[in-house]
């Protein structure tokens, strides 16, 4: 049986979540708190496996509370349930010792799955946060690769090829680039091949989200 404590200053949300969680055969809500100080007092008196807490709470907020839990009750797993989705808050809570982070927009099944995950000492980020971070990482990687390629090509590409380069790395098709630069698709393809040759980029086709081939650059 997984013993839970819910800490949130919104009593209705806390109460409704508690009712729903106790319907699971392996979950038991053994206490509730409206702020961090009350939570710490409860943990000193009650055996608990997982704490589900909010970031914004009066008296003692989630960040300070999480730090205290890690120091005073290291065996207790902290799972954040918050409306705050900015990566700054997520990073601070995880650094403080939280093992998981959920948004209050998550459905009940994901919350239950997260509880069962962190109780095994495994980290968990909700689907929405994971996708957001993945998109940012992907975008950052693309910007870095484009910048490296542009620097490498400086002084080697013709003026026209330098105009084609950013459109090329943005994933536009030959026809789309030709339309933007008022030239033919055949000419754009020639520019593409010259860019690949001069920058020693790979010519292996890489499928795009819309199904069009692009070229991996590296």
Q: Which among 94, 127, 160 is the end of a domain?
A: 127
DSSP H helical ranges for 10-86: 11-21, 36-43, 62-72
Calpha distance 42→205 (Å, rounded): 59
In total, how many domains does the chain have?
2
Residues 55 and 120 in one domain: yes
Q: Is residue 133 part of a domain?
A: no
Q: Residue 111's domain is classified under what CATH number?
A: 3.40.50.2300
Residues 85 and 172 in one domain: no
pLDDT tens track for 55-92: 999 999 999 999 999 999 999 999 999 998 888 888 89
Q: Is residue 84 part of a domain?
A: yes
Please tell me the pTM assigned to this model.
Answer: 0.63
Tokens coding 4: 């839970």
Calpha distance 164→136 (Å, rounded): 25
Q: Is residue 137 part of a domain?
A: no
Indicate the range of 95-99, 171-175, 192-196, 213-217 predicted with least confidence.
213-217
Contact (CB, 8 A) for 103 and 129? yes
Calpha distance 93→64 (Å, rounded): 9
Q: What is the predicted pLDDT for the residue at 29?
A: 97
What residues make up the domain containing 192? 143-215
Express as a percent the part of the chain with pLDDT over 70. 76
Contact (CB, 8 A) for 82 and 73? no
pLDDT tens track for 20-47: 999 999 999 999 999 999 999 999 999 9
């Amino acid at each position: 049986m997984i013993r839970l404590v819910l800490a949130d200053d919104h009593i209705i949300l806390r109460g409704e979540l508690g009712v729903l969680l106790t319907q699971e055969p392996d979950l038991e809500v053994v206490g509730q708190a409206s702020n961090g100080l009350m939570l710490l007092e409860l943990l000193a008196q009650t055996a608990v496996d997982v704490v589900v807490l909010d970031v914004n709470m009066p008296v003692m907020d989630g960040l300070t509370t999480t730090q205290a839990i890690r120091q005073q009750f290291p065996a207790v797993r902290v799972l954040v349930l918050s409306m705050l989705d900015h990566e700054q808050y997520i990073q601070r809570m995880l650094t403080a010792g939280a093992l998981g982070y959920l948004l209050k927009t998550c459905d009940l099944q994901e919350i239950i799955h997260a509880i069962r995950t962190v109780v095994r000492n495994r980290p968990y980020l909700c689907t929405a946060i994971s996708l957001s971070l993945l998109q940012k990482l992907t975008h950052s990687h693309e910007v870095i690769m484009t910048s490296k390629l542009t620097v490498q090509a400086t002084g080697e590409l013709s003026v026209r090829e330098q105009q084609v380069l950013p459109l090329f790395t943005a994933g536009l098709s030959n026809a789309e680039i030709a339309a933007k630069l008022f030239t033919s698709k055949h000419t754009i393809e020639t520019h593409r091949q010259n860019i690949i040759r001069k920058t020693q980029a790979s010519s292996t086709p890489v499928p795009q989200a819309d199904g069009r081939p692009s070229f991996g650059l590296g």
